[in-house]
Amino acid sequence: MTQASNARNPKLHAGCVEVELRVEPPELAERVRWDEATASGHGAQIVLTDEGPWLRLSSFASWPVLVEVPTADGETLELRLGGVPQISPPPLAAPAPRILPPARPAPVEPEAAHRALAQLRTYMRSFSGARHAPEETRDAILRRVGDEMAKVLELVEHVPDDQRDELRALFDEITAAMPAARQLALEQA
């Protein structure tokens, strides 16, 4: 019965804790006599390895601990470890992120959409002489005008419902002069 209940309720215990010991400033480390260091506390001991000195605590019952390390000058360096050590369970997995629907943009005032359409008309007219430009230049202009059209169309789409159809018809009228750019804008929308 005991084995079965232990198998269903496993527990993890810390068997031994080791703390690396260092002396600062590094110049002082040469004068420290680690071989004479002492550690008070039940089950606490100083362990010297190739990597350096360590404080080994056989259990948390060793707390509090006082480490005393003599120096060649006759001084004694002290390290006090106190408090109540605790073993915390591993952190819980982070909750799955909530996926929120995209925020609805704020409605656009119809006057702002009218101003944007007027500016678009002026912008498009500024390229009226581009018909005689080299093909690369015409393609670049079409992309730029298409980008502007897409921005204006985005505004028109966020005008209140009762005025959207009227502004959309005005957009179609203005952009009919450059159907290729209009197609680019519609693809971006």
Residue 83 has pLDDT above 70, yes or no: no
Segment 61-84 shows an average pLDDT of 79
Residues 77 and 143 in one domain: no
Confidence of residue 75 (pLDDT cuts 50, 70, 90): confident
Distance between CA atoms of residues 4 and 130, nearest Å:
86
> Does one domain contain both 68 and 31?
yes
- Supply the pLDDT for residue 4: 46
- The alpha carbon dihedral of 155, 144, 175, 117 has a sign of positive
186 vs 112 pLDDT, higher one: 112
pLDDT of residue 11: 60
- pLDDT of 12 above 70: no
For 31, the domain range is 14-81
Task: Tokens for 175, please give them.
Answer: 């952009």
SS3 180: helix
Spatial distance between the Cα atoms of 150 and 10, rounded to a whole number of angstroms: 62
pLDDT at 5: 45
Name, in order, each residue with C-beta under 8 angstroms of 82's C-beta and a sequence gap of 6 or more. 63, 64, 65
- Per the model's pLDDT, the better-predicted residue between 81 and 38 turns out to be 38
* pLDDT mean across residues, the chain: 79
Residue 3 domain flag: no
Q: Are residues 183 and 116 in the same domain?
A: yes
Report phi then psi at 173, rounded to 5.
-65, -45
Residues 25 and 72 in one domain: yes
- Name the more confident of 8 and 99: 99
With 70 as the cut, is the pLDDT of residue 112 above it?
yes
> Burial level of 97, CB count in 10 A (0-12/13-18/19+)?
exposed
Q: Give the range among 58-67, 116-125, 174-183 with minimum mean pLDDT.
A: 58-67
- Which 8-state DSSP code applies to residue 159? S
Task: Give how far Cα 77 sits from Cα of 29, 52, 137, 162, Å.
Answer: 11, 16, 78, 82
What pLDDT, in 10s, does the model give residues 38-67? Answer: 888 777 888 888 888 888 877 666 667 888
Is residue 1 one of the residues assigned to a domain?
Answer: no
Q: What is the mean pLDDT of residues 67-86?
A: 79
* Separation of first and last alpha carbons in the chain: 69
Q: Is residue 101 part of a domain?
A: no
The per-residue pLDDT for 125 is: 85
